Structure 1
């Protein structure tokens, strides 16, 4: 009969065997294991140093390229937008640094900045669609009729574009008689703010996407609203370019991707996702020139970009254009 002492001896034997195994294992394998770990550490350190050197080299080359493009930008864009007035449109989350850099290049291209419109978060709020519709119905001229499929932002963008941009070069710089009421009413409603002589109509528009894509349950709706604004100003004027920085991943709140994914809109509105690069700001000018010629393109390095820049940049616009690009 197996008694308690048998169990006790068995348990002691098991633990003794484990202890002997651990001692033998650490004694016999200690040197190879340590050597292997040391070799792996050395290899990882070497790889890290090589990658760091590659990064430093690439950053140095990029800085050199950026410096060169910046120095020759005045020559690259000189006179490309002479005689054109450009309206700048900022969106919630867009940065002033990008806008100031683009404005400088537009000046170098000979464009005149008509002013700046800054959309507010309230403008994009899905809960405020009733307010937008009410203002549009109150302010729109009798002959402005919207298709049944249009959204609140489609209608608001059409109304704002009719007040702030024109497809007729001869009307550039002249105020629309209804523009003051439209702008002041939207400002009073907290939907936008303005700076400069925005009521003296522009021919072109540059719209700045938010630096970070919108997130949350309303992200896709907000991005869609920006698509409506860009498209509305493109149709109401002689061309619109939406610019920003390429998103690292495709998200519903990315306005640039939303334009590129919208088949009909992407045929009219151009996008440039390299606004943070000197070359990208030159491409914005070239894209506006392309818009004046009745063409559009999707440029940059992000998802949906077809090329880094337009192939042709020398088309001369007609001074009597009467329709959007």
Structure 2
């Protein structure tokens, strides 16, 4: 996958080297400090730099054309490929941190365009309040096994299971006031697919342990689970998502990213897709056929 920033940086470096080479050559030759052989060698180096500059320009032009062609293809393919792919599917969205309205709009648009429905959205307060969560857990019969910081990963796993399965959700009901920032939609429906978004900065200590358990649980929930994030997020959450068994898709603000999200939620080949450096599996997953009515 090409990166326009890399080409721009390369082109800039070549130009700088060329200018420096010319200035040095002119300055030295003008003062008689170099002999003919050295001057010839310097001229050859300058010629090589010119060739590199021209090559970099050509590569940048080609990359730009490729990016524009890909955008045109995605914009054209999106309305033809997406409809019906998530027909009747129920999607649950979980934010580690506050809801980002831009990401929320993109995710809900993609799901809606594909015929699916976002049945619930939850955003978690991070860092977590371990003491408040433990006090709430003590009031739930049979959940003492989850008490203690050494069990925070197990707690994250259990919450992930409830989030995906729906139905009765005693942990979410008990812990909601201590860890949920925003909520929308019912906890009851079973989710057919999951979206995870990290909007908070990377966490350490107990919160990191808890979130790792949560991501791991979502990755093992048995339904397609896709991680995404705010465009340009740094550092990216994708490495931890991938380690937890989640697929990832970037550039969710583009038709390419939304198409990738829909395909992954439909059950396409898991992996890391998009337009960024971490999209090691390509721009889009293979496009599965839409199930036809018999």
- With the shorter chain as reference, the TM-score category is 0.5 to 0.7
Report the Cα offset of residue 235 of structure 1.
4.8
Q: CA shift at 1:200, angstroms?
A: 4.5
Taking the aligned partners of 2:282 and 2:40, their CA distance within structure 1 comes to 51
Unaligned segments of structure 2, at least 5 residues? 1-28
Match of 1:227 among 193, 203, 212: 212
Is residue 2:263 matched to residue 1:290? no
TM-score (norm 1): 0.60
Query: How many Å apart are 1:109 and its aligned residue?
Result: 0.8
Report deviation, 1:103.
Answer: 2.1
Q: Residue 300 of structure 1 is aligned with which of 258, 267, 273?
A: 273
1:179–1:228 Cα change, 3 Å: closer
Could you say what the CA RMSD is over the residues aligned between the two structures, in angstroms?
A: 4.4
What runs of 5+ residues in structure 1 fail to find an aligned partner? Answer: 1-24, 168-174, 317-325
Which has the larger Rg?
Answer: 1
Alignment correspondent of 1:57: 62
Question: In structure 1, what is the equivalent of residue 288 of structure 2?
Answer: 313
Match for residue 271 of structure 1?
248
2:33 aligned with 1:29: yes
The within-5 A match list for 1:162-241 is 162=162, 164-166=163-165, 176=168, 178=170, 181-182=173-174, 185-186=175-176, 188-189=177-178, 191-203=179-191, 204-210=193-199, 214=202, 219=204, 225-235=210-220, 238-241=223-226
Alpha-carbon distance between aligned partners in 1 of 2:70 and 2:131, rounded to the nearest angstrom = 49
Could you report, residue by residue, the CA deviation over 1:292-313 in whole angstroms, capped at 9, with x for unpaired residues? xxxx722327569456554473
Tell me the number of residue pairs that the alignment of Structure 1 and Structure 2 aligns. Answer: 259
- Contact 1:241–1:270 (CA<8 Å) still a contact in 2? yes
Kindly indicate whether the alpha-carbon contact (under 8 Å) linking 1:205 and 1:234 is maintained by their aligned counterparts in 2. Answer: no
Q: Does 1:243 align with 2:220?
A: no
Q: 1:106 aligns with which of 100, 106, 111?
A: 111
* CA gap 1:313/1:52 in 2 versus in 1, 3 angstroms: same
* Aligned position for 1:135: 136
- Local SS of the residue matching 1:205: strand
Alpha-carbon separation, structure 1, partners of 2:205 and 2:253:
24
8 Å CA contact 2:195, 2:226 repeated in 1:
yes
Deviation at 1:47, TM superposition (A): 3.0
Taking a change above 3 Å as real, the CA distance of residues 315 and 27 of structure 1, as seen in their structure-2 partners, is closer
- Note if contact 1:86-1:205 (Cα within 8 Å) is conserved in structure 2: yes
1:121 aligns with 2:106: no
**Structure 1 residues 81 and 61, CA, compared in 2 at 3 Å: closer, same or farther?**
same
Distance (whole Å) between structure 1 residues aligned to residue 205 and residue 212 of structure 2: 11
- CA apart distance, 1:112: 0.8
Contact 1:205 1:241 survives alignment (8 Å): yes
For residues 48 and 306 of structure 1, do their structure 2 counterparts lie closer, same or farther at Cα, with a shift above 3 Å needed?
A: closer
Give the equivalent residue in structure 2 for 1:15.
none
Asked if 2 retains the 8 angstrom alpha-carbon contact of 1:77 and 1:282, the reply is yes
* Alpha-carbon distance in 2 for matches of 1:276, 1:105: 10
Structure 1 equivalent of residue 90 of structure 2: 85
In the alignment, which residue of structure 2 is the partner of 1:256? Answer: 238
